[in-house]
Structure 1
Amino acid sequence: MDRLALERFQEEAFRVRSLQKLRALRDQVNEEFGRHLLFGEALEWNREVNAYHDALIRRVIALSEERLKEEQGKGAPLPYAFLLFGSGGRGEQTLWSDQDNGLIYADPSSVDERLEAERYFAELAARITEGLETVGYPPCHGQVLCTNEQWRKPLQDYRRMVNEWMQEPDWEHVRYLLITVDACAVYGDETLGRALVEEIYRYTAACPAMLEYMLCNTLHHKVSLGVFGQLIKERYGEDAGGVDVKYGAYIPIVNGIRLLAVEAGIRRSSTEERIKALIAGGHVSEEIGQDWLGALKLALKLRSMTPYQIEEGRYVTRGKLTADQLTKERVTELKHCLRIGADLQKYVKKSIHKEIDKRLGDR
Structure 2
Amino acid sequence: MGVGTFTKLKNDILNADQLPQLRSLRDQFQLSIQQNEQLHKDSIAELNNLINDIHDALIVKTISLAEIRMVGEGLGPPPASYSYLLLGSAGRSEQTMASDQDSALIYEDHTASEKTKAYFLTFTQYVVSMLMELGYPPCDGKVQSNESMWCQSESEWKEKLEQWFQDADWESVRYLLIVADARCIAGDDLLFNRIRTFFEQGLVRYTNMLERMIENTVQHKVVVGIFGQFITDRYGDHVGSIDVKYGSYIPIVNSVRWLSLNAAISETSTLSRLEKLKERGQFSEEDYEKYRKAFLQMLSLRLLAGYHEEDGMYKGYSKLNPKRLDSDEIKRLKRNLRYGKEVQKLVLKEMARHK
What TM-score, normalized by structure 1, do the two folds share? 0.94
* AA matched with 2:193: R
CA RMSD between the two structures: 1.3
* AA matched with 1:220: Q
Q: Using the TM superposition, give the Cα deviation of residue 310 of structure 1 relative to its aligned residue in structure 2, in angstroms.
A: 0.4
- Listed one character per residue, the Cα deviations across residues 260-293 of structure 1 (whole Å, up to 9, x for unaligned) are 1100001101010011011112222111111111
Equivalent position SS for 2:254: helix
- Listed one character per residue, the Cα deviations across residues 44-90 of structure 1 (whole Å, up to 9, x for unaligned) are 11011101100000111111111111221620000001100000000
5 Å-filtered alignment, 1:217-232, equals: 217-232=216-231
Q: Using the TM superposition, give the Cα deviation of residue 351 of structure 1 relative to its aligned residue in structure 2, in angstroms.
A: 1.1
> Higher mean Cα deviation, 337-346 or 3-12?
3-12
Q: Using the TM superposition, give the Cα deviation of residue 92 of structure 1 relative to its aligned residue in structure 2, in angstroms.
A: 0.3
Equivalent position SS for 2:130: helix
CA contact (8 A) 2:87 2:178 kept: yes
Distance in 1, matches of 2:163 and 2:216, equals: 18
Q: Which residue of 1 aligns with 2:47?
A: 45
Equivalent position SS for 1:305: helix
Task: Sort the Cα spacing of 1:326 and 1:233 in 2 relative to 1 into closer, same or farther, 3 A.
Answer: farther
CA contact (8 A) 1:212 1:353 kept: no
* AA matched with 2:64: A
Q: Which residue of 2 aligns with 1:29?
A: 29
Equivalent position SS for 2:141: coil
Distance in 1, matches of 2:271 and 2:238, equals: 30
Distance in 2, matches of 1:4 and 1:163, equals: 46
Q: Which residue of 1 aligns with 2:286?
A: 287
- Listed one character per residue, the Cα deviations across residues 221-264 of structure 1 (whole Å, up to 9, x for unaligned) are 11001121100111111111111000000000000000011000
Aligned residues: 353
Corresponding position: 1:80 with 2:79: no
Q: Using the TM superposition, give the Cα deviation of residue 37 of structure 1 relative to its aligned residue in structure 2, in angstroms.
A: 4.1
Q: Which residue of 2 aligns with 1:360?
A: none
Q: Which residue of 2 aligns with 1:275?
A: 274
Q: Which residue of 2 aligns with 1:185?
A: 184
Q: Using the TM superposition, give the Cα deviation of residue 324 of structure 1 relative to its aligned residue in structure 2, in angstroms.
A: 4.2
Distance in 2, matches of 1:99 and 1:73, equals: 25
Distance in 1, matches of 2:77 and 2:243, equals: 44
> Higher mean Cα deviation, 196-205 or 76-85?
196-205
Match of 1:55 among 29, 44, 57: 57
* AA matched with 2:343: L
CA contact (8 A) 1:81 1:105 kept: yes
- Listed one character per residue, the Cα deviations across residues 80-137 of structure 1 (whole Å, up to 9, x for unaligned) are 01100000000000011000001111111x2xx2122112111111110110000000
5 Å-filtered alignment, 1:173-212, equals: 173-212=172-211
* AA matched with 1:100: D
Distance in 1, matches of 2:344 and 2:322, equals: 26
* AA matched with 1:33: I
Distance in 2, matches of 1:250 and 1:219, equals: 12
Task: Sort the Cα spacing of 1:303 and 1:173 in 2 relative to 1 into closer, same or farther, 3 A.
Answer: same
Distance in 2, matches of 1:281 and 1:274, equals: 10
CA contact (8 A) 2:85 2:183 kept: yes
Identify unmatched segments of 5+ residues in structure 1: 358-363
Distance in 1, matches of 2:273 and 2:206, equals: 22
5 Å-filtered alignment, 1:1-363, equals: 1-34=1-34, 35=36, 36-72=38-74, 74-108=76-110, 110=111, 113-322=112-321, 324-354=323-353, 356-357=354-355
Equivalent position SS for 1:352: helix
CA contact (8 A) 2:97 2:307 kept: no
Distance in 1, matches of 2:250 and 2:58, equals: 25
Q: Which residue of 2 aligns with 1:361?
A: none
Task: Sort the Cα spacing of 1:83 and 1:315 in 2 relative to 1 into closer, same or farther, 3 A.
Answer: same
What TM-score, normalized by structure 2, do the two folds share? 0.96
CA contact (8 A) 1:242 1:326 kept: no
Q: Matched residues, percent identical?
A: 37
Distance in 1, matches of 2:191 and 2:344, equals: 32
> Higher mean Cα deviation, 179-188 or 203-212?
203-212
